[in-house]
């Protein structure tokens, strides 16, 4: 058994001792969405601090707990705050929470984030359904001895964002009349925002949005056979696309502004995902 898996089992045992809840959907909340969990029917919470060996985020605006509850009738586990590679954590740390949520029973991983728009057709405040990704600028979370208990050494990534889940989100966006862009998410390490040339590079490579999370989590989740979907909140146009310098405050302000629509989209999508299975 690998060290990474031993650690994961230890975290899982810690969870089991405190909570008995089997989620179907695991939802990761990005910037601006931190209070989404307040709007659901909460059954229990578990602070990351209470889980031995669990990485704890340092980013302000991230709460740092699992919330267990129901969206409609769908049992969900929500991560209020994630850990990022740029905080200095290893990729093993960064994807540990996703792996743990799979062990809790979650079949679907629903990823959300705030991201910079790279595509000139995008505007701040848009939502983008993530249909594919480029994670090649950060190390794969699967580097190191393979965790055979979780998945294959060389996992396929041809449908990293599950088509059926994408269809559900698209249908919901139409039903709720919430405009939804689509595209490829590129993960860079951060924590600095990109230069204008780096943003141009992202565009040439086929990226539509750029951010500092998500793609590595999607890789680890695919490895384990979870169904993955994701939506980016385009909090700003990326560097070089406007005259203004970028700030984290701007990212949070936009994400906060459009949060009510984002929440509606997520809630209805999860309800539909609960029906479909």
State the residues that interact with ligand HPA by CB under 6 A: 114-116, 193-194, 210-212, 235-236, 238, 246, 251
Beta-strand ranges (E) seen in the chain are 25-29, 41-47, 65-71, 74-80, 108-117, 127-134, 181-187, 209-211, 227-237
To ligand HPA, the closest distance from the beta carbon of 246 in angstroms equals 6
Q: How far apart are CA 240 and CA 10, in angstroms?
A: 46
Considering the complex, state which of residue 184 and residue 272 has its C-beta at the smaller distance from ligand HPA: 184
Q: CB of residue 209 vs ligand HPA: minimum separation in angstroms?
A: 8
**Comparison of 116 and 151: residue with beta carbon closer to ligand HPA:** 116
Angle at CA 56, nearest 5°, toward 51 and 59? 155
Closer CB to ligand HPA, 218 or 238, in the complex: 238
Give the β-pairing of 65-71 and 41-47.
antiparallel
Among 231, 167, 226, CA closest to 25: 226
> What span, in angstroms and rounded, lies between the C-alpha atoms of 114 and 211?
7
Contact 117, 123 (CB under 8 A): yes
Q: Which residue is nearest to ligand HPA (CB)?
A: 116
Q: Choose between 111 and 238: whose C-beta lies nearer to ligand HPA.
A: 238
Is 1 or 196 the residue whose CB approaches ligand HPA more closely? 196
Inter-residue contact 18 to 104 (CB < 8 Å): no
CB of 116 to ligand HPA, least distance (A): 2
Provide the minimum distance between the beta carbon of 14 and ligand HPA in the complex, in angstroms, as a whole number: 31
């Amino acid at each position: 058994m690998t060290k990474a898996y031993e650690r994961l089992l230890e975290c899982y045992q810690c969870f089991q001792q405190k909570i008995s809840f089997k989620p179907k959907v695991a939802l990761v909340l990005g910037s601006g969405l931190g209070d989404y969990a307040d709007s659901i029917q909460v059954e229990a919470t578990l602070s990351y601090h209470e889980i031995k060996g669990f990485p704890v985020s340092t980013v302000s605006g991230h709460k740092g707990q699992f919330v267990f509850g129901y969206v409609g009738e769908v049992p969900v586990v929500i991560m209020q705050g994630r850990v990022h590679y740029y905080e200095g954590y290893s990729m093993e740390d960064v994807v540990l929470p996703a792996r743990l949520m799979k062990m809790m029973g979650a079949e679907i991983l629903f990823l959300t984030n705030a991201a910079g728009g790279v595509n000139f057709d995008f505007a701040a405040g848009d939502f983008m359904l993530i249909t594919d990704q480029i994670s090649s600028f950060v190390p794969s979370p699967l580097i190191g001895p393979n965790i055979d208990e979780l998945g294959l050494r060389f996992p396929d990534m041809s449908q990293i964002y599950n088509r059926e889940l994408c269809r559900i989100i698209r249908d919901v966006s139409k039903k709720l009349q919430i405009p939804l862009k689509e595209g490829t998410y590129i993960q860079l390490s951060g924590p600095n925002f990109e230069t204008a040339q780096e943003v141009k590079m992202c565009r040439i490579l086929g990226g539509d949005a750029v951010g500092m999370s998500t793609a590595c989590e999607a890789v680890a989740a695919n490895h384990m056979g979870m169904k993955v979907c994701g939506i980016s909140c385009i909090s700003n146009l990326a560097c070089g696309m406007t005259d203004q310098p970028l700030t984290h405050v701007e990212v949070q302000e936009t994400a906060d502004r459009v949060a009510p629509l984002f929440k509606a989209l997520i809630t209805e999508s999860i309800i539909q995902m609960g029906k479909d299975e």
